Structure 1
Amino acid sequence: MYSNGYNVYKNNSVNYASKEQLLLMLTEGAVKFCKIARQAILDNDIKKAHDALVRTQDIFSELMVSLDTTVGEWAAQLFRVYQFIKERLIEANMTKNIEIIDEIFPLVEDINETWKEAYNRAKK
């Protein structure tokens, strides 16, 4: 009963979110799943690490396809950053190397903070 209501709420929050809110949800998810993957590797939970890394990869794929690279050089540069992170996530997933996650996690957090700031500015 409760999970159904929760699913309806989650679907509505995504279906009625602005583009800025969706970007923020994606980047917050990337931070969350990156943390989960890191802990799963430490716990030697290979399946959980794989699932979390794939979800993070999917988020960066979505960020890449949603980026309009025709609006300026900054967008093309951001695309390359997303691409770099996604490639490193794939490598981390193949090797379960925590050092790779530690390398890219600050970038993932910075991207989240950037979109959070953009969202707050868009609301004003």
Structure 2
Amino acid sequence: MYGSNALNAYKNNSVNHASKEHLLLMLVDGAVRFAKVSRQAMVDKDIKKCHENIIKTQNIFSELMISLDQNAGEWATQMYRLYDFIKEKLVEANIKKDIKIMDEIIPLIEEVRDIWHEADKVLKEHR
């Protein structure tokens, strides 16, 4: 019991004191993790777990869409469209419980994660 409470306190503290950049990286890492969990839940026929994790992934992409600086030009517009496409495919995968759609979309989610990790790396190198 104590270990679980301590872990939750640590997680809450990590989120509450993380920089904006670190929070973004945590989100994209979570999106990959939740998408993979939902795919495996489809394989296992665990509909509830699949649904819950797809919704978590969709919520992350909604947050990413909201957080994009629309004044950042064409790059921001393209990222917004990519996020929207991913969300639409997640909805479709959730409705159909289609593993093939998840197999199509997980590499895109991983690519988004990789883009943000690379951007963070470049930013740190220029500080």
Q: Decide: shared fold, TM above 0.5.
A: yes
Give, as a single letter, the amino acid of the residue that structure 1 aligns with 2:3: Y
TM-superposed CA distance for 1:19, in Å, is 1.3
Which residue does 2:28 correspond to in 1? 27
Gaps of 5+ in 2: none
Cα RMSD (Å): 0.9
Q: Which deviations, in whole Å up to 9, do the C-alpha atoms of 1:15-55 show, x marking residues without a partner?
A: 11111111110010010011101110001110110011000
Which residue does 1:113 correspond to in 2? 114
Which whole-Å CA distance do the structure 2 matches of 1:22 and 1:73 have between them? 24
- Following superposition, which runs of at least 4 residues in structure 1 exceed 6 angstroms of deviation? none
Which residue does 2:60 correspond to in 1? 59
Gaps of 5+ in 1: none
Give, as a single letter, the amino acid of the residue that structure 1 aligns with 2:116: W
Count of aligned pairs between the two proteins = 124
Aligned pairs for 1:1-124 (under 5 A) are: 1-124=2-125
Q: Please, what TM-score do these two structures have when normalized by structure 1?
A: 0.96
User: Secondary structure at 1:17's aligned position in 2?
Assistant: coil
Q: Which deviations, in whole Å up to 9, do the C-alpha atoms of 1:55-106 show, x marking residues without a partner?
A: 0001101111011111111101100000000011011111101111111111
Which whole-Å CA distance do the structure 2 matches of 1:52 and 1:117 have between them? 25
